[in-house]
Amino acid sequence: MKKIIQWVLLSVVLLGVVVAVVRNRSELAVKETAPIQAVESNTIASANERAAVTVTYFTSNVRCVSCRKIEALTLNTIETQFAEQMSSHWLVFETINIDLPENKHYIEEYELSFKTVVIAYGDETGEKQWRKMDKVWELLSNEDQFDDYISEGITSALSHITS
């Protein structure tokens, strides 16, 4: 009788774990009800003409909880630590959906293999430099480290254009 109760309890626990895993996976695979709107190319061009540094979150039509968090944390870092640079147009943040045909060129241009943040700036020769911030996925569970990582990338880019 004792063995039967143990097996029943074990089965209930395992069933609970399976249900939790299935729910978690379904939350991560949530699709947007409406695809992200295309950023008009003339808007990007005019923003980039004014900005010395552009921070871009490249995303797609499918946006999981983690994807949304990366975008929100990146924007929060910019707004809290680089507000002055944003208001003076030294720094611009944009989100670009690479699933849209007009934005496919970014995949090759920035060597994108998945959704990520890219920090781009023009160097002293006018040549465009950029850095993929792929560690955003690893640092997602530690907001302080995420913030430090994005801040370091932006500070580095700003130092190249102001030196």
What are the pLDDT digits (tens) for 52-65?
899 999 999 999 99
pLDDT bracket for residue 151 (50, 70, 90): very high
Say what the pLDDT of residue 33 is.
Answer: 33
d(CA 107, CA 150): 21
d(CA 144, CA 103): 31
Closest CA relative to residue 134, chosen from 156, 150, 154:
150
pLDDT per position as a tens digit, 4-39:
776 656 565 555 555 554 454 444 433 333 333 333
Task: Return all residues near 122 (Cβ < 8 A) that are at least 6 apart.
Answer: 52, 128, 129, 161
pLDDT per position as a tens digit, 76-132:
999 999 999 999 888 999 999 999 999 999 999 999 988 999 999 986 666 789 999
Closest CA relative to residue 52, chosen from 92, 11, 98:
92
pLDDT per position as a tens digit, 62-78:
999 999 999 999 999 99
